[in-house]
Amino acid sequence: MTSTAVRKTVMSMLKLVIAEKPSVAVSIANVIGADKKCKGYREGNGYIVSWCIGHLAELCYPESYDERYAKWSLDDLPIVPKEWKYSIDGKKKEQLKILKSLMNRSDVSEVINACDAGREGERIFRTVYRITGCRKPMKRLWISSLEDEAIREGFKNLKPGKEYDSLYDAAECRAKADWLVGMNISRLLTLAYGKTYRAGRVLSPTLAFITERQDEINSFKPESFYTVELKDENTSLVSDKFKTKEEAEALKQKCLSEPVVFESAVSEEHREKAPLLYDLTSLQRDTNRVYGFTAQQTLDYTQSLYERKLCTYVRTDSMYLTDDMEETAEKLFSPCSSVLKIVSDLNKLNASVLCDSGKVSDHHAIIPTVSIDGYDLTSLPQGEKKIIFLVMKRLLEAASDDYICETVTYKFICGECEFKAKQTFVKQVGWKLFEGKEAVDDKPFMFEVGENLKGFEAQVKEGKTKPKKEYTEDTLLSAMETAGKGEIPDDAERQGIGTPATRAEVIEKLISSGYVRREGKKLIPDETGINLVSVLPESLKSASLTAEWEQKLKQVEKGELSPESFMESVTEYISDLIAAFKKENSV
């Protein structure tokens, strides 16, 4: 071959880019110039851009390893594959076939992983890479936004795929651990109790949260308490609580004949720090509280905004920006303020407080992109519009001053008992300006110490103690996020059960499995869910075990723990659990 022919061959080599979804692939293709449309991919400018459709392949069911597992038997447990196999989703076989063909093309020199920049995105790509037998050099595109400039910068700074081997290891370990728990414990409980049960590493303790809270509510017995209220045209004074109505009535009678004496006024300053930027969990909590969105709806709406290039990467557990993003944040203040129609002094906003690279893991917090400037946000679907407005508002709030107020507690004596009244004065509106808060020029009560006050009406009011409230997705997400706290080191990088990317899926599985139902915002356990928790081994109901595994998965991700060691510990746990269960229940 002549030198000219060699040069032509080299020049004709193509780079294959694989995204997680078709829509993302199209965005990437448009930026890098792959504009020729083909079946299952785009090509041009030295690139081929194709896509997965989420997970194209998943771990096989037990019967794929041995036919005898098709019939469930306690004698076969635990089932632990020596070599893991994958099954292909029938509806997605055609796209996998296209990817395999592209990977094997002689003119493809390297493959670029452009799936979502996180644990599951890594697993989606690597699974396809492995089952197609691809051996070509691998690069990684790691971006937090689908804006054109972010994509261009990402391609300028492609990383060697090997740098993300540990991230893939953590993803595989998570999937295999979930398989071992789900397949083995579901069979164990179903065979032992004669009812079909579906257990899960994260699903089980989450269900336990909901059922235990419902038990507390059902067993709660309200208790009455009584207070005396003294009221005139300007002031309302309230006594301490009494257990019996007779005590409150006796005080009321005294107050009808005795003066109210002013004793003291105590002032206390309260400061509320500006909220941090949104990570996925805090955004899901707020949208559930404010709009009643489910966690899955919020994830879907925000993912759509990401694909429209209106907000940054969604599945993040960080509430800060990197240090080099201060200028980016500053550029967003004006368009956000303009869109929200909130008049504020933008010079008072401080972008530097939003930035701390040391507190950013894989991705920074969720913020709007500069694409919101000039975009007709009113054309968005209602769910997406509400979320992008929340994200914009949070950016302005997080960069604002603290909210400062002063609370004055006035104490009075009547009938030898203490009464109180409170006033609150806003000293600095700060971030609450964006919640519609204003500084009100109220005047404090003017009393002299020892002054006798008359003209109050006295009445007894009855109240009742209240049980805890049923979980909503807001409060359940909070419980999942902090689960195991106190049992996992405070400096652990990942606490709680599940991850921001998976918690919505867990809640949806509880509902689709018939274990939990939604009643408005409330999450109520069904009878099948209550029955499952009643038969679950204690360790699987405990949040501490799952939180410990999440922490170990993070160690695998960082290369501090080998995937083999993690899987050995999981396998040992499953084997010991099944052996102990069989012994205790004589099955």
Strand-pair partners of 58: 87
Contact criterion met (CB below 8 Å) for 210 and 533: no
- Phi–psi pair at 192, nearest 5 degrees: -75, -35
Locate 571 and state its tokens. Answer: 């396998």
Half-sphere exposure of 455 (CA within 13 A, CB side): 5
Give the distance from CA 45 to its chain's centroid.
Answer: 39
The angle at the Cα of 302, spanning 297 to 304, to the nearest 5 degrees, equals: 100
Contact criterion met (CB below 8 Å) for 344 and 398: no
- Phi–psi pair at 410, nearest 5 degrees: -100, 130
Catalytically annotated residues: 313
- CA distances in angstroms from 95 to 60, 128, 247, 348, 444, listed in the order given: 19, 11, 77, 52, 71
Contact criterion met (CB below 8 Å) for 118 and 174: no
Instruction: Name the residue with tokens 């006796």.
Output: 250
Starting at the earlier edge strand, list the strands of the sheet with 14-19. Answer: 36-38, 41-44, 47-51, 14-19, 108-114, 138-140, 159-160
Q: How many residues does the chain have?
A: 587
The angle at the Cα of 57, spanning 53 to 58, to the nearest 5 degrees, equals: 125
Contact criterion met (CB below 8 Å) for 399 and 411: no
Q: Mention every residue, 6+ apart, whose C-beta is less than 8 A from residue 366.
A: 277, 278, 279, 280, 283, 302, 311, 312, 313, 314, 316, 391
Residue 186, amino acid: S
Q: What is the DSSP string of 334-356?
A: HHHHHHHT----GGG--GGGGB-
3-state secondary structure of 51: strand
Locate 271 and state its tokens. Answer: 């400061």
What distance, in Å, lies between the first and last C-alpha atoms of the chain? 73
List, in sequence order, every beta strand (DSSP E) within 116-168: 138-140, 159-160
- Phi–psi pair at 160, nearest 5 degrees: -60, 135
Contact criterion met (CB below 8 Å) for 331 and 296: no
- DSSP letter for 504, please: H
- Phi–psi pair at 396, nearest 5 degrees: -70, -40
Residues 183 and 200: their CA atoms lie apart, in Å, by: 9
